[in-house]
A = this chain, B = another copy of it.
Amino acid sequence: MSVSGSDAQQPDVLQINGEVADSVSVLERGLHYGDGVFETLRCHEGRILFLVDHMARLRRGCAQLNINFTDINTLREELLQLANLTTHAMLKVIVSRGIAQSRGYTASGTECATRIVLRYPTAAYHVPPPAKVGVATMRLSENARLAGIKHLNRLENVLVQRERIDRNCDEMLFLNARDEVICGSMSNVFAVRAGQLLTPRIETCGVAGVLRQQVLRLAQHLAISCYEQPLALVDITSADELFLTNVRVGIWPVSSVNQKKLSPGPLTPRVQTAFMALLEKGTKESE
Once bound together, how far apart are the Cα atoms of A138 and B10, in whole Å? 38
**Cβ-based interface call for A23 (8 A):** yes
Partner among B103, B143, B153, B164 whose Cβ is within 8 Å of the Cβ of A34: B153
Once bound together, how far apart are the Cα atoms of A142 and B92, in whole Å? 29
Contact string against B for A residues 27-62, beta-carbon threshold 8 Å, 1 for contact and 0 otherwise? 111111111001000000000000000000000000
**Contact (A165, B33) CB under 8 Å given A16-B26, A26-B14, A142-B141:** no
Partner among B28, B35, B120, B161 whose Cβ is within 8 Å of the Cβ of A103: B120
**Contacting pair B159 A26 (CB below 8 A):** no
**Cβ-based interface call for A22 (8 A):** yes
Interface size on A, residues (CB 8 A): 66
**Contacting pair A35 B145 (CB below 8 A):** no
**Cβ-based interface call for A102 (8 A):** yes
Set of chain B residues within 8 Å of A142, measured between Cβ atoms: 141-142, 177
**Cβ-based interface call for A208 (8 A):** no
Once bound together, how far apart are the Cα atoms of A32 and B205, in whole Å? 19
Once bound together, how far apart are the Cα atoms of A65 and B29, in whole Å? 21
The A153-187 residues at the B interface (CB cut-off 8 A) are 153-162, 164-165, 177, 185-186
Partner among B32, B94, B118, B138 whose Cβ is within 8 Å of the Cβ of A145: B138
**Cβ-based interface call for A188 (8 A):** no
Once bound together, how far apart are the Cα atoms of A116 and B26, in whole Å? 8
Stretch in A104-112, A190-198, A260-268 touching the partner = A104-112
**Cβ-based interface call for A229 (8 A):** no
**Contacting pair B33 A155 (CB below 8 A):** yes
Task: Tell me the minimal C-beta distance from A204 to chain B in angstroms.
Answer: 9
**Cβ-based interface call for A271 (8 A):** no
Once bound together, how far apart are the Cα atoms of A145 and B9, in whole Å? 28
| Nearest neighbor of A38 in chain B, beta-carbon distance | B32
**Contact (A32, B94) CB under 8 Å given A16-B26, A142-B141, A143-B139:** yes
Once bound together, how far apart are the Cα atoms of A35 and B151, in whole Å? 13
Once bound together, how far apart are the Cα atoms of A152 and B94, in whole Å? 16
**Contacting pair A146 B151 (CB below 8 A):** no
Set of chain B residues within 8 Å of A205, measured between Cβ atoms: 141
Of the A-B pairs whose beta carbons lie under 8 Å apart in the complex, a sample of 18, sorted by A's number, is: A7-B103, A14-B26, A21-B26, A22-B26, A22-B27, A23-B23, A24-B26, A24-B31, A28-B31, A30-B31, A33-B158, A34-B152, A34-B155, A104-B186, A141-B146, A141-B205, A142-B177, A145-B159
Residues of A at under 8 Å CB distance from B? 4, 7-11, 14, 16, 21-35, 38, 65-66, 90, 92, 94, 96, 101-107, 116, 118, 120, 138-143, 145-146, 151-162, 164-165, 177, 185-186, 205
